[in-house]
Amino acid sequence: MTALSSFIINPSNTLYDGEDHDEKILYVIRRSKITNLSWTLLAAIMLIIPTIADPFLRSLKFNGANLVSLKFLFIFTFSWYLATFGLAFFNFLNWFFNVYIITSKKIIDFDFFGLTYKNIAETTLENVEDVTSTISGPFHTIFNIGDVVIQTAGEKREFDFVEVDDPGRIRDIISDLVAAKRGHHDHN
């Protein structure tokens, strides 16, 4: 289940477009799994609604005749479950494919929205100027979820790792990699 983790260290069999031959992927990071709770609960409630609505709609009668046909109930129920599956699938894909990758040379931000839009931004570790982490609100404080903002000297001025687990740890990892990279170049 490592592939479904929100923080993967040294992932095996992981590649990305534009990866250099001498580059090693060190971390793959996603939003915290707990951030999926809201849409997961919504999908669970949506799964239950037809079991409540169906008997109620079947009981509606006027002069002894059903007000709602069985054909309508079937189409309604099928459409409802299809919409529920679509909601859950879309939100899962959004969580799964929006990843942040830290390599031995770069930081990459993959943003996917739906099936038709993708934005990939990257910067080298040498371009990183400042790394900060923020945790705000009681929910985020309790579960240690927050944002990591990476300011760069590159074309994209900021990289935002949004709602990640243990943002302080991620900030420290990036800062240590940047310091090691700069220290390595100072000795050359």
Whole-model pTM?
Answer: 0.83
pLDDT at 188 > cutoff 50: no
**pLDDT, tens only, 59-100:** 888 888 888 888 989 999 999 999 999 999 999 999 999 999
**pLDDT, tens only, 128-160:** 999 999 999 999 999 999 999 999 986 778 999
Q: From CA 136, how far away is CA 155, in angstroms rounded?
A: 28
pLDDT at 187 > cutoff 50: no
User: What single-letter DSSP state applies at residue 3?
Assistant: G
Q: Phi first, then psi: give them for residue 135, nearest 5 degrees.
A: -125, 125
Tally Cβ neighbours within 10 Å of residue 146: 23
Residue indicated by tokens 């990257």: 122
**Contact assessment for residue 60 and residue 68, using Cβ atoms and an 8 Å cutoff:** yes
Q: From CA 85, how far away is CA 46, in angstroms rounded?
A: 10
pLDDT at 44 > cutoff 50: yes
Helix, strand or coil, per DSSP, at residue 24: coil
C-alpha count within 13 angstroms, C-beta hemisphere, residue 75:
5
For the record, the structure tokens of 72 come out as 């309508």
